[in-house]
Amino acid sequence: MVIFGAGGDLTKRLVVPSLYNLACAHLLPDEFAIVGFDLQDIAEQKWQQTLCEMTREFVRTADPSQSFNQDVWNSLSSRMHYVQGDLNNPASYEALKTKLAECDTKYGTAGNYVFYLAVADRFFGPVIERLGDSKLACEENGYWRRVVVEKPFGHDLASAKALNRRILKVIGENQIYRIDHFLGKETVQNIMMFRFANGLFEPLWNRDRIDHVQVTVAESLGVERRGGFYEHTGALRDMVPNHMFQLVGVIGMEAPNSFNADAVRSEKAKVIEAVRICEMEQSGYAAVRGQYGSGEVGGRPVEGYREEPDVSPDSAVETYAAMKLTVENLRWSGVPFYIRTGKRMTKRQTLIAIKFKGVPAALLRHTRLRQPAPNWLLLRIQPDEGIAFEFGAKIPGPTVQMGNVRMDFHYRDYFGTAPATGYETLIYDVMAGDATLFQRADNIESGWEVVEPVLEAWGAQKPGNFPNYPAGTAGPECADELLAKDGRAWRPID
Ligand code: BG6
């Protein structure tokens, strides 16, 4: 595996710790080796040492009960090599080629390479072109060559299309693995199993029985050290066409004919193609935005977005976005999907909440019961991964009264937790050549296509009232109004 951006944050925090976890689980092939590529002139040993410290740290933070396995690390790091090079310089790719040939001889590798682009998005096109020019991306003599590309994949529809065209001139769609790390999350993968491997819910999974769906991706963190990046991105671009639409995709898709990569991706693509952002009669699109001001998160005072490093003091960039979507197909027609995401919210919670339709009121007309509370199915993606179902039950006693109860499944009770960054599955799948959990060119483009009108509308009109939610809250009032107009409310972030 060649890691471009070998000295970067992503490599240190996610890619190498995931490789270490895979090594601990004996899921790396015996011939596996890593070649790090970066501009920094650093001794190989020093580079390995920095990665060792980060991985050690990561392992402790992810699961304090897990100890660091020095033997596994030593064996992995003995196969880690470093090439100092410039992403834009063809000569550096020749140096890389020489190093790879050495590795092939030393480890008996078969010439199968994964090129992991852990670099800023402006380098995606140039690096792939250089790989093409140097013939490193060329699959011949039975070798495979795969390229992993991180997000952001484009900045809007036009740039995503241009990037796809540029990349696909050099390599085939089958060689490219566009990462959306949400798809690496166990709980997201489980939604498909939950839906299609259990007979109970699928017959209810449609406009006849579902009232609406809420998708929440709330973060308690702010923009941290990524102010510079975020000023050009904002919550809508950062989260909606990719992560949030992937969640809408797995909830909304039809059963694929098989779990083969193209079958699954085609079904998901169909759903995203059918998604529209609703239009309101007078106020344009049913989409609202917010930006956090100072406040308190977890009992600690925090600054507002405009005070964060590398952020303009009068920034109009949104750190919160919410919208009402419809999925215009037979299954979902008339069922709103409300989605929201924001930074510096009450707490970290990624949740898909599905509200089922209630019983007809007529049934209860001769009782003293008010309309019982609705049934909710709650798919908790993170943290506290699990699934809950809320329903009404009679409170014991001579008078007829109903209470709301909850059946609750926690992953940790049944399966324990595996140390994971979410990248282990994805990296493993790249090596195995399974693209099911990766985005195809059409998936990416249809995500951008859906949000394009709102991107344009928001770009044309600056919000006048930012900041409009204090850090540590559930978001701006306009997001509550979005649902209140339909007689609905967001579930509390609890
Ligand atoms: C990233 C976004 O893709 O996903 C970040 O760029 C966001 O802004 C992150 O914080 C959320 O991922 P997770 O796995 O922490 O929920």
Regarding pTM above 0.85, the answer is: yes
Active site residue 243: yes
CA of 346 to the centre of ligand 1 (A): 16
pLDDT of res. 142: 87
The Cα 181–Cα 425 span in angstroms is 10
Ligand 1 neighbourhood includes 238 CB (under 6 angstroms): yes
**Helix orientation angle between 423-432 and 16-24, rounded to the nearest 10 degrees:** 80
CA atoms within 13 A on the CB side of 167: 28
Assigned superfamily of 183-484: Dihydrodipicolinate Reductase; domain 2 (3.30.360.10)
The Cα 134–Cα 96 span in angstroms is 10
User: Can you give the length of the chain in residues?
Assistant: 494
**Where does CATH 3.40.50.720 sit in the chain?**
2-150
CA of 46 to the centre of ligand 1 (A): 29
Letter string b/e over residues 28-66, b meaning 16 or more CB atoms within 10 A of that residue's CB: beeebbbbbbbeeebeeeebbeebbebbbebbeeeeeee
pLDDT digit string, tens, across residues 186-201: 889 999 999 999 999 9
Q: Which amino acid is at 340?
A: R
**Helix orientation angle between 245-252 and 261-274, rounded to the nearest 10 degrees:** 110
Nearest alpha-carbon partner for 455 in 307, 314, 284: 284
Selected catalytic residue, list 181, 212, 243, 410: 243
Q: Ligand 1: which of 18, 153, 181 to mutate, most ligand atoms within 8 Å of CB? A: 181
Instruction: Tell the residue nearest (CA) to atom 13 of ligand 1.
Output: 182
List of the chain residues with pLDDT < 70 = 62-63, 366-370, 417-419
pLDDT of res. 80: 97
326, β-bridge pairs: 276
The Cα 188–Cα 262 span in angstroms is 18
Instruction: Tell the residue nearest (CA) to atom 9 of ligand 1.
Output: 239
Asked if 182 contacts 243 with a C-beta cutoff of 8 angstroms, the reply is yes
Cα four-point dihedral sign 165, 171, 174, 177: negative
Ligand 1 atom nearest to CA at 348? 16
Ligand 1 atom nearest to CA at 217? 16
pLDDT digit string, tens, across residues 458-472: 999 999 899 999 999
Nearest alpha-carbon partner for 314 in 322, 304, 306: 306
Q: Which amino acid is at 288?
A: V
Instruction: Tell the residue nearest (CA) to atom 15 of ligand 1.
Output: 219
Ligand 1 atom nearest to CA at 219? 10
**Where does CATH 3.30.360.10 sit in the chain?**
183-484
pLDDT of res. 59: 79
The Cα 26–Cα 474 span in angstroms is 42
Asked if 351 contacts 381 with a C-beta cutoff of 8 angstroms, the reply is yes
pLDDT of res. 259: 85
Q: Ligand 1: which of 224, 238, 341 to mutate, most ligand atoms within 8 Å of CB? A: 238
pLDDT of res. 353: 98
Give the per-residue SS3 of the chain: CEEECCCCHHHHHHHHHHHHHHHHCCCCCCCCCEEEEECCCCCHHHHHHHHHHHHHHHHHHHCCCCCCCHHHHHHHHCCEEEEECCCCCHHHHHHHHHHHHHHHHHHCCCCCEEEEECCCHHHHHHHHHHHHHCCCCCCCCCCCEEEEECCCCCCCHHHHHHHHHHHHCCCCHHHEEECCHHHHCHHHHHHHHHHHCCCCCHHHCCCCCEEEEEEEEECCCCCCCCHHHHHCCHHHHHHHHHHHHHHHHHHHCCCCCCCCHHHHHHHHHHHHHHEEECEECCCEECEEEECEECEEECCEEECCHHHCCCCCCCCCCCCEEEEEEEECCCCCCCCCEEEEEECCECCCEEEEEEEECCCCHHHHCCCCCCCCCCCEEEEEEECCCEEEEEEEEECCCCCCCEEEEEEEEEHHHHHCCCCCCCHHHHHHHHHHCCCCCCECHHHHHHHHHHHHHHHHHHHHCCCCCCCCEECCECCCHHHHHHHHCCCCCCCCCC
CATH architecture group of domain 2-150: 3-Layer(aba) Sandwich (3.40)
pLDDT of res. 416: 73
CA of 182 to the centre of ligand 1 (A): 8
